[in-house]
Amino acid sequence: MGAGWIELCSRQKSAPLILLDTNALLWLQQRHRRSRPLARWRGNVYISPANLLEIQFLLEARRIRFRPGFSIADLVGDRRWILDDPPAAAWFDVARELSWTRDPFDRLLAAHSQYRGWKLATGDGLLLEILGAEAVVEL
């Protein structure tokens, strides 16, 4: 085992994990051009229970539609990402500190990514500005 192998293992362990914001999840699911940076991602990609709740709200408000026969359960079962389930009390403790937004889903998703220490994949200008380049993957 040479130095190159150790360097490769080190890089693989330090690859950041990603949490998708809701638009990123929908873009990736639909293979939208805005999701292209994620197509090259070699680490794990996660979704949040907050994504699922926001999508349910969007469906009920008729702001988005799924093709016939497709459901939120189909999103959960997609092998391109993993549903993470952080402990609610700890996650919400982080969310209470994020007073820069009144959007409950932005707050929950930013808190989820911060709680886990993961990057948040987003195209949202406010999230990009507030969280900074180190904490996001810009779409």
pLDDT band at 11 (very low <50, low <70, confident <90, very high): very low
Residue 15 has pLDDT above 50, yes or no: yes
**Residue ranges of domains in the chain:** 16-138
pLDDT band at 14 (very low <50, low <70, confident <90, very high): low
CATH architecture of 16-138: 3-Layer(aba) Sandwich (3.40)
Q: What is the DSSP letter of 118?
A: P
Q: What confidence score (pLDDT) does residue 8 get? A: 35
Q: What confidence score (pLDDT) does residue 16 get? A: 76
Average pLDDT score over the chain = 89
Q: What is the DSSP letter of 81?
A: S
pLDDT band at 33 (very low <50, low <70, confident <90, very high): very high
Contact 52, 124 (CB under 8 A): no
